[in-house]
């Protein structure tokens, strides 16, 4: 074997080593780092051999191979330097990647409909850079009735930690109006297998927003504090049907057809541990962008307002909470849907853990009023939960629904659910 062949084999071996090492650097673990350091030690020894052989080549007069040998050594040095830099970065990592989320499987049996199984999966992603920047996102993946899989972006924000008590968020975020949507709606947190009427799509409570949000906490004394959230966003869209507003779509849109922003927020006071009292509000303008099922442009804006109150208290094994939200759009005589409307909902819920905290009983009453009689609903919901772990539970619920006769809002139903938060 001549010198050129030897150096080619050595260089190829080093390149293969780097190819194998590079994906290993993507895994932040002590074992991978130790393996990398061992490889680097071996590379250093090989580098010393290369230098000796180069000197020997110079002495023997192999001038024809000298330039190629020198290039191989320079390449090896660069590979070793890059490997060293990467190893140091992973040893002192300033970034953290975290995957969490929740999933649920339901069996729903309505009084006047077909029983069916339902499955949902909501992965959450968190990417932390140092102690100042966090990107977080949640996907909502569910199977539709026709078998298609629908994937939606629940939220996606860049969070800038201004200080220890204040965060600026930009992107799509869950609405801070009220408490249920932003804190309670995940299946493994919600104590019943369904959301209260009026807190879902086409309800009274906003779901999400796209814009900027400032969140923080302000201590008051030793045990009390205020929490706050203030935002500016693109606002909702209005659906017109038969000359009136059919629904307020407040689900976080990446466009603003009426070019009018919405301002809102929530202020909560925690006077003692485990007691929270809060008020929410939002105001701005909105316009009809869909009329009788078709896209529509050029509708004049009208006033849009939201008002909310919520409270929660935990005492021993008891958990009490309640919430009220009203969304309103004014009349606009120049609109294709001149008549406005009010969407109003409230619920009160009590839960109690027994059996050493493994079992839980839940009762909730909800009253949802809509301008459209077929959407209005009163509901009593009863549930019994078995907690496998604090984040994994089996839920059995029964709903007594009072709505317009013949509508789905009037169907009582059984719901069984397995929910897991990870």
List pLDDT tens digits, range 366-391.
999 999 999 999 999 999 999 999 99
Cα gap 422→413, rounded to integer Å? 29
pTM attached to this predicted model: 0.77
Share above pLDDT 90 across residues of the chain, in percent, rounded to a whole number:
69
By C-alpha distance, which of 107, 171, 120 is closest to 150? 120
Cα gap 176→2, rounded to integer Å? 73
Given a contact cutoff of 8 angstroms between Cβ atoms, the answer to whether 247 and 204 are in contact is no
Q: Where are the beta strands (DSSP E) in 165-261?
A: 166-174, 208-220, 224-233, 237-241, 244-249
Q: Tell me, what's the pLDDT at 293?
A: 86
Mean pLDDT of 32-60: 59
Interstrand relation of 237-241 and 288-291 (parallel, antiparallel or unpaired): parallel
Query: Is the pLDDT at 165 greater than 80, yes or no?
Result: yes
pLDDT band at 334 (very low <50, low <70, confident <90, very high): very high
Encoding tokens for residue 388?
């496998």
Q: Which of 68-72, 133-137, 148-152, 410-414 has the lowest mean pLDDT?
A: 68-72
Cα gap 79→43, rounded to integer Å? 10
Q: Tell me, what's the pLDDT at 11?
A: 43
Q: Tell me, what's the pLDDT at 88?
A: 56
pLDDT band at 25 (very low <50, low <70, confident <90, very high): very low
User: pLDDT, tens digit, for every residue of 102-126?
Assistant: 999 999 999 999 999 999 999 999 9
Query: Is the pLDDT at 149 greater than 60, yes or no?
Result: yes
Query: Is the pLDDT at 211 greater than 80, yes or no?
Result: yes
Q: Which of 57-66, 136-145, 261-270, 400-409 has the lowest mean pLDDT?
A: 57-66
Q: Tell me, what's the pLDDT at 5?
A: 44
Given a contact cutoff of 8 angstroms between Cβ atoms, the answer to whether 176 and 183 are in contact is no
Mean pLDDT of 355-367: 96
Query: Is the pLDDT at 62 greater than 80, yes or no?
Result: no
Cα gap 57→79, rounded to integer Å? 23
- Between the alpha carbon of residue 45 and those of residues 6, 67, 80, 381, the distances in Å are 16, 22, 11, 72
Encoding tokens for residue 399?
């709903």
User: pLDDT, tens digit, for every residue of 282-308?
Assistant: 999 999 999 988 988 889 999 999 999
Cα gap 146→47, rounded to integer Å? 63
Cα gap 171→210, rounded to integer Å? 5
Given a contact cutoff of 8 angstroms between Cβ atoms, the answer to whether 3 and 57 are in contact is yes
Domains and CATH numbers, the chain: 3-91 (no CATH), 96-121+170-421 (2.40.160.10)
Mean pLDDT of 135-151: 93
pLDDT band at 175 (very low <50, low <70, confident <90, very high): very high
Share above pLDDT 70 across residues of the chain, in percent, rounded to a whole number:
78
| 88, 91, 92, 93: CA torsion to nearest 10 | 110
């Amino acid at each position: 074997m001549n010198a050129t062949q030897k150096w080619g084999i050595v260089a190829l071996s080093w390149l293969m080593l780097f190819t194998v090492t590079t994906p290993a650097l993507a895994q932040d673990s002590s074992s991978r780092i130790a393996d990398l350091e061992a490889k680097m030690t071996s590379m250093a020894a090989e580098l010393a051999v290369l230098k000796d052989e180069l000197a020997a080549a110079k002495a023997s007069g192999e001038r024809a191979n000298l330039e190629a040998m020198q290039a191989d050594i320079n390449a090896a040095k660069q590979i070793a330097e890059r490997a060293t830099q990467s190893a140091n970065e992973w040893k002192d990592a300033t970034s953290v990647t975290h995957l969490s989320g929740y999933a649920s499987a339901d069996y729903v049996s309505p009084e006047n409909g077909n029983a069916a199984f339902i499955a949902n999966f909501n992965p959450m992603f968190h990417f932390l850079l140092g102690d100042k920047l966090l990107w977080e996102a949640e996907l909502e993946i569910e199977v539709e009735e026709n078998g298609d899989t629908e994937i939606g972006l629940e939220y996606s924000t860049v969070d800038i930690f201004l200080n220890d008590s204040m965060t600026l968020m930009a992107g799509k975020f869950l609405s801070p109006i009220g408490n249920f949507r932003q804190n309670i709606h995940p299946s493994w947190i919600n104590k019943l297998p369904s959301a209260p009427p009026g807190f879902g799509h086409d309800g009274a409570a906003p779901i999400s927003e796209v814009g900027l949000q400032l969140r923080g906490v302000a201590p008051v004394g030793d045990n009390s504090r205020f929490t706050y959230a203030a935002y500016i966003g693109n606002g909702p869209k209005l659906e017109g049907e038969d000359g009136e507003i059919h629904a307020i779509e407040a689900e976080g849109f990446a466009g603003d057809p009426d070019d009018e922003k919405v301002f809102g927020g929530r202020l909560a006071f925690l006077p003692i541990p485990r007691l929270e009292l809060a008020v929410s509000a939002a105001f701005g303008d909105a316009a009809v962008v869909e009329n009788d099922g078709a896209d529509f442009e050029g509708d004049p804006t009208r006033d849009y307002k939201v008002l909310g109150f919520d409270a929660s208290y935990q005492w021993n094994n008891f958990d009490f909470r309640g919430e009220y939200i009203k969304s309103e759009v004014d009349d606009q005589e120049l609109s294709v849907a001149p008549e406005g409307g009010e969407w109003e909902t409230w619920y009160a819920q009590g839960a109690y853990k027994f059996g050493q905290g493994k079992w839980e009983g839940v009762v909730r009453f909800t009253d949802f009023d809509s301008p459209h009689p077929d959407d209005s609903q009163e509901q009593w919901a009863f549930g019994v939960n078995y907690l496998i772990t604090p984040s994994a539970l089996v839920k059995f619920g029964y709903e007594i629904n009072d709505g317009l006769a013949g509508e789905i809002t009037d169907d009582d139903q059984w719901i069984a659910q397995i929910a897991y938060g990870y």
